[in-house]
Structure 1
Amino acid sequence: MSIIDLREELNFPKPPGFPPEVREVFGALRNEVTFLHGIWDTYAQLYGTEDSVAALNGIAPGAFSFLGYVLRHDLFMTICRITDPKQTGKKENLTLERLLHVIKGQSADPRLVSALEEQLKEINSACEPFRVRRNRILGHLDLKTALRTHPEPLPAIERVRIIDVVDRIAKYMNEVLGHYTAAHADFVPLISGPAGNIVHGLREFQRLRKLQYERQIAELHDGSGNVSPGS
């Protein structure tokens, strides 16, 4: 028996399905949230453990340091874009608040609206450190911050805070998805050739390079440990 048949047999209410206006905004926003999860998943695979960082630094520390900065920059900017107000001046934005605004316009279930409002309030609070960084050094270059004369230091953003915000955004989107379709998404894109392959390849390269070095040393010495003639 399929889940649809079981739902009908037990008289579970059917999901209402997306209204066209909600579907349009949700679909576009879903792409952005999936992109956000892709950035974070890539960053976590490359820089998530001491072992992976050591593999990167063992080959090209400078290049991977720059790459890490670029990924963090895009990660923070994407979080801020998704959680911005629905409108900035006369410009309308595609954000979580915009999605809520469209849902409210469809005479949605008050329980859904209430849940989304509460979650959005928590998301905005959790995103405040990201906004401070976006406004002072990423989206803009605050003079006092650049000259290191600003009285307030930039907030630190630890890994646990990033995970918390990314998870909260996914929960918000799933609240909407579940209400209209009874589905659930993890929003992590399936990428052909994930970033973890880079770490694995570098580890293997370092292993082979070490073996080659040890083989060359062995060829320079005889069995007694003496350097071979002509070495």
Structure 2
Amino acid sequence: MSRQQKTDDVLEEFRKAYPRSIADLAHRLWNDICFLHLSVSAYLQLYSSQQTVKILNSSAPRFFACLENWLRLTIYLGIKRLTDPAQSGTRSNASFAGFAKLLREAGETAAADVLEEDLKTLKQTLQKIRRIRQLAHADLKAVLCEDSPFPELPRNELEILVDAISNTYSRTDARFRRTQSHVKGMGMFTGVDVLTSFLQRGVPSLSKRSSDLCGELENEGRLANA
């Protein structure tokens, strides 16, 4: 209940600061960017360190391999949707371009102009992700190729891109809420350090249990063949 109340309080803050026709979308974009930062932070904390990857592979390798692909897909989809055009056919999109469109319709021309200029500067950097065909549909040729369907973006490029996306939003948000949106700090609370600590403690006992089980099975096999 308290968590829901906090969410409602934040939404109410947006509704007080923004024109009514824009507030809900501004709040939604803020949430999406926060989730994007959490996803990127978790992904980088889990898979950027060889030491951490070794712990993951020693505990539940298949699960963490699936999680790696899921996080990468989540990140790429999040970036793509935030930077989608204002409309797809007759449907409006909850994207930066859609945000700029609503700003302009509400008479916030200066804010819309700045946001659209910021989007232009992001365009080149976004091409690597927006060109991944599987994000739009299950492209047959891409799905059947031997390479990973979701190519890995270098860590520094990913961090720079996500920071640029956050800054693009924050510059517009500051015009209305008169405060800096510190969404990057969200990544501090992923809990990855706690998870890896528990896994690291558990791996030796898991290895011993597996070794004991193999020994028991071998003994049973010998007895059966005797």
Normalising by structure 2, report the TM-score: 0.74
Kept in 1, the 8 Å contact 2:101–2:112? The answer is: no
Calculate the aligned-residue CA RMSD, in Å.
3.0
Change in CA separation of 1:147 and 1:63 when aligned onto 2, cut-off 3 Å: closer
- The ranges of structure 1 where at least 4 consecutive aligned residues each deviate by more than 3 angstroms after the TM superposition are 146-149, 153-156, 188-193, 206-210
1:164 to 160, 168, 178: 160
2:46–2:53 contact (8 Å) kept in structure 1: yes
1:185 aligns with 2:181: yes
> 2:97 maps to which residue?
97
More helix by share: 2
2:192 corresponds to:
195
- Report how many residues are paired: 192
Deviation readout 1:176-201 (Å, 9 max, x if unpaired): 12111221122254897723221111
TM-score (norm 1): 0.72
Question: What are the Cα deviations for residues 131-188 of structure 1, in whole angstroms up to 9, with x where unaligned?
Answer: 111xx23432222323449xxx986522222212211111011111211122112225
Q: 1:67 to 1:33 in 2, by over 3 A?
A: same
Q: Partner residue of 2:129?
A: 130
CA separation in 1, counterparts of 2:109 and 2:134?
40
Distance, in Å, in 2 between the alignment partners of 1:165 and 1:139 is: 20
Give the Cα–Cα distance (whole angstroms) in 2 for the partners of residues 146 and 19 of structure 1: 44
Distance in 2 separating the partners of 1:209 and 1:90: 55
2: CA distance, partners of 1:155 / 1:45: 18
SS in 1 for 2:181: coil
Q: Report the residue type matching 1:145 in the other structure.
A: A
Whole-angstrom CA distance in 2 between matches of 1:45 and 1:57: 15
Task: Give the drift of 1:208.
Answer: 6.3
Query: Of 128, 139, 144, which aligns to 1:142?
Result: 139
Structure possessing the higher radius of gyration over alpha carbons: 1
- Give identity over the alignment, percent: 25
- Structure 1 runs not aligned, ≥5 long: 1-15, 214-231
Name 1:54's counterpart in structure 2.
54
The answer to whether the Cα contact below 8 Å between 1:22 and 1:99 also exists between their aligned partners in 2 is yes
Q: Work out whether residues 38 and 190 of structure 2, in 8 Å CA contact, stay in contact via their aligned partners in 1.
A: no
Corresponding residue number in structure 2 for 1:219? none
Distance 2:78 2:67 in 1: 16
Alpha-carbon distance in structure 2 between the residues aligned to 1:70 and 1:155: 12
* Secondary structure class of the residue paired with 1:185: coil
CA deviations over 1:39-78 (Å, ceiling 9, x no partner): 1122122113122111111212222111111111111111
CA pair 24-209 structure 1, distance change in 2 beyond 3 A: closer
